[in-house]
Amino acid sequence: MAGKPSAPDLRVRRWEGGSWSESPDSVVMEEPLQLMLDGEPLSVVMRTPGADIELALGLLFAEGVLRSASDVKLVRISAEAGEREPALDVDASLMESNQVDVQLAVAPARKPERSMLSSSACGVCGAVMIEDLRRGLAPLAPGMMVDAAVIPPLADALRARQGVFEKTGGLHAAGLFSPAGELVCTREDVGRHNALDKVVGRALIDGKLPASSSLLVVSGRAGYEIVQKSITAGIPLLVAVGAPSSLAVALAREFNQTLIGFLRGSRFNVYSCPERLR
């Protein structure tokens, strides 16, 4: 199963009230992950270690490289990662840590244009042109309905599962919930899009994509890449604690996704498709 994010402790000098002191502090881990496809280097992803298999599969799904877990023949990873996935054939024999090699059973649904460096702030680094970001997206069906009263508690429900954030203040989170507000899956990462890729990777492994009966909650803002990845995963309702961008709103409206932002206490704004909310 997925590894847990860690928060190493260190000593820091602290200035407070006109004097210095020394105290322990926790910082979030950020390390590079070498993602390989069929043994060939594809991408270097800056991420918080843990759930690397989910992250790799979620990213490849978002990039259109694979469409289901059955496309995956083998996942190679180091024994040091300590990750196991009963639903996948996982080979923990890689000598180097911080590497994941996804080997496909079929030809990739879409061959990436080029290798890309993905930082913790960039969620669509594999795209070459703006038009390419819309590839494969289809309008979401009306379907799922949610009571408006379900939305306000979701931010606290997500925050309650952010164990590493409580120690460091430096991690984003993404969580899938049922229409009744029940938590299905949550993941943390230094990159908001990485947290979402991990959640989508989990759903992919569990055979739960498209996630047409789920809503997504993210701890930060709703940028274009969050909307794009969630539409790709078939998620009809996206809730962000922070603000959406203009491009995110335009994309949500174009592809019939309900986009909610500025979730604060009992208040939130609906930017697109309010008809899904009772």
Tens of pLDDT, residue by residue over 32-75, are 999 999 999 988 999 999 999 999 999 999 988 999 999 999 99
What total of structural domains would you count in the chain? 2
Per the listing, tokens 């300590």 go with: 82
268 domain residue, yes or no: yes
Mean pLDDT of the region 103-118: 75
Are both 159 and 256 inside the same structural domain? yes
User: Which pLDDT value is given to residue 160?
Assistant: 86
Q: Which of 133, 163, 179 is the last residue of a domain?
A: 133
Confidence of residue 180 (pLDDT cuts 50, 70, 90): very high
Which of 133, 159, 174 is at the close of a domain? 133
pLDDT digits (tens, 9 = 90+) for 211-245: 999 999 999 899 999 999 999 999 999 999 999 99
Amino acid present at 36: M
Task: Classify 193 as helix, strand or coil.
Answer: helix
Range of the domain at 221: 148-276
Position 143 confidence tier, pLDDT thresholds 50, 70, 90? confident
Q: What does each C-alpha distance from 254 to 139, 227, 273 come to in angstroms?
A: 7, 11, 10
Residue 259: other Cβ atoms inside 10 A: 24
Residue tagged active-site, from 122, 125, 185, 273: 122
The enclosing domain of 198 has a CATH number of: 3.40.140.10
Q: Is the pLDDT of residue 8 over 70?
A: no
**In the predicted model, is pLDDT for residue 120 greater than 80?**
no
Is residue 122 annotated as part of the catalytic site, yes or no? yes
Task: Kindly state whether residues 196 and 244 are assigned to the same domain.
Answer: yes
Tell me: pLDDT of 128 over 50. no
Which letter does DSSP use for residue 242 in this model? Answer: S
> d(Cα 83, Cα 90) in Å, to the nearest integer?
9
Rounded to two decimals, the pTM is: 0.88
Do 112 and 75 have their domain in common? yes
Residue 47 and residue 122 in one domain: yes
What is the Cα–Cα distance from 278 to 275, expressed in whole angstroms? 7
Task: Indicate whether 60 belongs to any domain.
Answer: yes
Higher pLDDT, 140 or 123: 140
β-strands 237-240, 258-264 pairing: parallel
CA distances from 120 to 155, 214, 225, 275 (A): 22, 25, 12, 34
